[in-house]
Amino acid sequence: MKLEEIRHKIDKIDRELLVLLQERMGLALRSKKFKKTVTDPTREEEVLSRIERLNLDLIERSFTRRLIRTIIEESKRLQEENRPLVAFQGEHGAYGEVAARRLIPSGAYIPCLEFIDVFRGVEEHQFDLGVVPVENSLEGAVTQVNDLLTTTDLQVIGEAKVTVKHCLLGTEDIDHREIRLVYSHPQALAQCRGFLMRNKLEARPYYDTAGAAKMLARENPRAAAAIASELCAELYDLEIIKAGIEDGPANNTRFLLLSREPSADRGEKSSIIFATPHEAGRLFAVLKLFAEANINLTRIASMPLRSDPENYCFFLDFEGSEQDEKVVDVLRQMEKLTISMKRLGSYPAASGVF
């Protein structure tokens, strides 16, 4: 190996160490939800003595103890900070994390494998807040999330619109002429098909956009690049070869902020889900209430009921707070026209698209 190659490998290992440390800190923050106090001397001793049993010739035991001790101290400091734990679906750098950072700038962002993990995690007090995508301007409703909204007891306390700006990312030393393979989520690959074709690049599906960026940074496979967010470039130290490579006009995704408690804010926007009996004019009667009260609807979507596929439920977002007199009045009248109605809450409207 040449000196340059050795140094390159060392840099890669350093990056991997940090990515792993980030993951460890996230887990430590989550552990706090199960503990009464941050400090637990028995557990600390257990961690230290277990790691010392690893017999590595280049790593002195005293060094191991010092290193792990430093990590534990930092992790305790982080736990004392009391940052709200905000769960999102995907790996670090996913568009969900972009939304979470906008909504809660001082949070600790915890990745979850599935949407249901976000919902359950908040419901079971493992996380303080959750961020989930509800609709995309090109693809429409995110059905899994809408389905979970019908069964959850969580409240919506905020929303954010995030521009999905796909970037071609490479490791810093890649020559664009060598790129042959591009890893990303199938949806992102589909949205960038023109770019891939023009540059004769082969699309390689991966489970997640941010996951593809993380894999690229850690494994650096030959002749490969990834499509992911700008945030991923920052988090995984990747180079943005080209930003905004999607074919169509930039699309955006609307995310909801979920909490166990309703918004402290009065809110200027509200969301409800309802179902009407299968009778002529019932849906119209409901919508008429909003029209007559002069309440602007910002979203209306229908979805088959999981429990009863013959019937539909309707998602309605409208301008105004559940505390507004005319809204109180409309919702009271709605109770009589629907077979079920669920209030998701009132919240501040998103200001612009990020």
Partner 1 sequence: MSSLKLAAITKTRRTVVQVGEVKIGRDLAVIAGPCSVESEAQTIETARAVKSAGADMLRGGAFKPRTSPYSFQGLGIGGLRILEKAKRETGLPIVTEVLDPRDVSWVAEFADILQIGTRNMQNFSLLKEVGRSGRPVLLKRGMYSTLDEWLNCAEYILSEGNPDVILCERGIRTFETYTRNTLDLSAVPAIRELTHLPIVIDPTHSTGRPSLIEPMSLAAVAAGADGIIVEVHWRPEEALCDADQAMTPAGFTGMMNRLRPLRTFMEKLPA
Active site residues: 253, 255
Half-sphere exposure (Cβ direction) of 102: Cα atoms closer than 13 Å: 24
Q: Which of 115, 195, 236, 347 binds partner 1 (CB under 8 A)?
A: 195
Residue 271 to residue 301: CA distance in whole angstroms: 11
The CB density around residue 317, as the number of other CB atoms within 10 Å, is 22
Q: Is 200 in the site for partner 1 (CB under 8 A)?
A: yes
Q: Which of 19, 181, 223, 241 binds partner 1 (CB under 8 A)?
A: 241
Report the distance separating Cα 61 and Cα 144, nearest Å.
49
Shortest gap between Cβ of 330 and partner 1 (angstroms)?
45
To the nearest whole angstrom, how small is the minimum distance from the Cβ of residue 176 to partner 1? 5
Residue 334 makes contact with partner 1 by CB under 8 A: no
CA 65 – CA 47 distance, rounded (Å): 10
Beta bridge partners of residue 162, listed in sequence order: 253
In the block, residue with structure tokens 């890649």: 174
From the list 8-16, 59-67, 158-166, 197-205, the region that binds partner 1 by CB under 8 A is: 197-205
Q: Which residue's CB is nearer to partner 1, number 191 or number 276?
A: 191
> Interface with partner 1 includes 173 (CB under 8 A)?
no
Residues 6 or more apart whose CB falls under 8 angstroms from that of 256 comprise 131, 132, 134, 149, 156, 158, 159, 271
Least distance in angstroms from the C-beta of 172 to partner 1: 11
By CB under 8 A, name the one of 36, 53, 198, 336 that touches partner 1: 198
The region of 121-129, 183-191, 241-249, 311-319 touching partner 1 under the rule CB under 8 A is 241-249
Residues 32-91 within binding reach of partner 1 (CB under 8 A): none
Amino acid letter for position 48:
L
CB 239 → partner 1: shortest distance, Å?
A: 9
In the chain, where do the E strands start and end? 85-89, 108-112, 129-136, 140-141, 155-164, 167-170, 181-184, 202-205, 224-228, 239-243, 251-259, 269-275, 297-304, 312-319, 340-347
> Rounded distance, CA 133 to CA 96, Å?
7
Judged by CB under 8 A, the stretch of 132-140, 185-193, 240-248, 263-271 that binds partner 1 is 240-248
| Interface with partner 1 (CB under 8 A), residue from 51, 141, 240, 305 | 240
**Contacting positions for partner 1 (CB under 8 A):** 176-177, 195, 198-200, 240-243, 245
